[in-house]
Amino acid sequence: MTTDQRTDEAAIRDLFARQAQAWQDGDAAAFAALFTEDADYVTWFGTHAKGRQQIHESHIPVLTKYLKNTRLDGEITSLRFLTPDVALIHAEGAVLKGKRRRNRRNTKVQTTVVVRTDGDWQIAAFQNTKYHWLFAKFAG
């Protein structure tokens, strides 16, 4: 890995940290600002928000009502640069309240595509899938 890739990887990890902070702060605008203008956001139950504005609007009730006072607990499991300005990230995570911890029952698996836009990394696509520990045994 080159020094530039290490710098980019650190910037991408910072992007994910800012996303978690915006969620914990209940700030739908700050959360959505991390996405490209034309981003795709697919939830684990199949809804699809298209574009930063829809991501923002759909997260207002999520962060101020339904999942208020929750936090994102996740970890990047792989990060691969497809080009110098595009990276594919796989992660595991959960939305948690209080002192709860991520476990095999609440974990989701995410695929995220990030792109460098005007020198900054932004999320272009996000897919969240419910993880089922039983079926994971059959996947290899």
Burial (CB count <10 Å: 0-12, 13-18, 19+), residue 41: buried
- 44-87 pLDDT, tens digit per residue, is 888 999 999 999 999 999 999 999 999 999 999 999 999 999 99
What is the number of domains present in the chain? 1
| DSSP of 77-121 | EEEEEEETTEEEEEEEEEEEETT----TTT-EEEEEEEEEETTEE
Q: So what's the pLDDT on residue 44?
A: 85
Q: Which tokens go with 82?
A: 């497809």
Which pLDDT band, with edges at 50, 70 and 90, does 121 fall under?
Answer: very high
Q: What is the CATH number of the domain that holds 29?
A: 3.10.450.50
Binning pLDDT at 50, 70 and 90, where does residue 140 land? low
Quote the pLDDT of residue 46. Answer: 86
Range of the domain at 80: 3-136
